[in-house]
Amino acid sequence: MADELGAPAHRPLWVFLQSGFVWQLCWSSYWTLFFLRVVVDVGLDPLQLLMLGTAKEVTILLAEIPTGVLADLRSRRLSVILSFLICGLAIVGAGLAGSFVALVLTQVLWAFGSTFRSGAEVAWFTDEVGSLEVVDAVLPRRARFEAVGSIVGLTATALLAAATSLSTALVVVGVVLLGWAVVLKLRMPETGFQRHAASANSRFRQLLREGFDAASRPGLRVLLVVTVATGFASEAVDRLSVARLDQIGLQDTIDPALLIGGASVMQSLGVIVLLFIVGRRLAGPRLVSAMVALNALTAIGVGVLAQGGLLAIALIGMVTQGTARSIARTVTVAWTNHFTDRSNRATVHSFVGQAQSLGEISGGIGLGIVAQQIGISTALTISAVIYLLASGWSRRGHTRWPKPVLVHS
């Protein structure tokens, strides 16, 4: 790998790793602070919490493929920079918004911005280094950088929020993301991307066809089903975890920002440890086994969060599921990358992102009604069962992995 990452690829490698660090620093801080703010400061009910997620995912569903095709058609570098810029503005808005409608608008803006980065960043890096094997090796390394970014961000913003306010901490996180967009404008190269001579309209249609063709491959179909299912289940976990902790005494302990921040730091440490142990094995067909195990572990964690009657037990469940899901995201990216080629990488990644959004929209509505009418614990228990079913379905990938791998660099 050292030879493959010589001088031409060295700069893209470090831009890729550092961007992962900064994105995760801001992303994990944003969501932790945001959910604390809407539960503790604004006081949204469970259905409103899930409607925030539904608004976000509807936006992603509508924007994912057009922005993915745009990245393949025009510039993946430009797409990544736009993503950091738009998402930074959304986080600043989330820190300033005070009404439910305003908070929904910040979620829509965040979702729109995130679709520019979805797939484009990995597609950019794959083209710059020109080797799928190198990308497979680097993705776990980047995930470790992301985990460290989470620890740094959560620690700093938890202390900042405790000293000032949740709103102030959110605004600072947004400014950091905006600053990194400027850094990328100055430092991010793009030498491996090839523009096509065909007209924009004809190339757009061609990329859509290629995306649908890739999605029809048996191995990717398995992943798409798993992604829809886990997306459905994850929406309740993402939106209701803090509300569940609040039910069993979150605000009766130390400052909630410090407690949730500490739990999230433990989650990131778990990611680092697990990736140190298994990171080099996350390649090729072994990605399937990893997905099976990670979804099963997520099911256990969500079940403990749902049924744990003590705050400490529920926190263990939250950390467990969060650790497993963080690594599963890396596995999903690597799995998807095995079913792309140079011309359509961002588009195919966008198809997978759209599958997740479809699941999350359905989960936001369905599990939101369950949480509102029956209870948060019941909604989370249903999510745990769905993760377990997704683990079983993931096994089908063993018999549907391409031989040889269908990738052209």
The pLDDT confidence band at residue 253, using thresholds 50, 70 and 90, is: low
408 in any annotated domain: no
Q: What is the pLDDT of residue 160?
A: 93
Residue 206, token pair as written in the block = 């061609």
d(CA 219, CA 284): 12
| Closest of 259, 255, 278 to residue 267, by C-alpha | 259
CA distances from 60 to 53, 116, 146, 183, 353 (A): 11, 10, 22, 26, 8
Q: What is the pLDDT of residue 405?
A: 42
The 10s digit of each residue's pLDDT in 127-139 is 888 777 788 888 8
Mean pLDDT of 382-400: 91
Q: What is the pLDDT of residue 208?
A: 65
Mean pLDDT of 204-218: 68
Least confident of 51-55, 177-181, 196-200: 196-200
Q: What is the pLDDT of residue 14?
A: 92
Q: Which segment, 118-127, 177-186, 352-361, is predicted with the most confidence on average?
A: 177-186
The pLDDT confidence band at residue 408, using thresholds 50, 70 and 90, is: very low
Q: Is it the case that residue 196 has pLDDT exceeding 70?
A: no
Q: Is it the case that residue 102 has pLDDT exceeding 80?
A: yes
Q: What is the pLDDT of residue 69?
A: 76
Q: What is the pLDDT of residue 352?
A: 85
* pTM, full prediction: 0.75
Range of the domain at 387: 10-189+199-400
Q: Is it the case that residue 337 has pLDDT exceeding 60?
A: yes
Q: Is it the case that residue 9 has pLDDT exceeding 80?
A: no
Residues 323-334 as b/e (b if ≥16 CB within 10 A, e otherwise) read: bbbbbbebbbbb
Least confident of 25-29, 183-187, 251-255, 353-357: 251-255
Half-sphere exposure of residue 297: CA atoms within 13 angstroms, side-chain side: 20
Q: What is the pLDDT of residue 24?
A: 92
d(CA 406, CA 313): 44
407 in any annotated domain: no
406 in any annotated domain: no
Q: Is it the case that residue 93 has pLDDT exceeding 50?
A: yes
**Under 8 Å between Cβ of 24 and 147:** yes
Q: Is it the case that residue 82 has pLDDT exceeding 90?
A: yes
5 in any annotated domain: no
User: Any idea what the CATH number is for the domain that residue 233 is in?
Assistant: 1.20.1250.20
405 in any annotated domain: no
- In the chain, the percentage of residues whose pLDDT exceeds 90 is 39
Average pLDDT over the chain, rounded to whole?
A: 84
Residue 119, token pair as written in the block = 């797939």
125 in any annotated domain: yes
Q: What's the total number of domains in the chain? A: 1
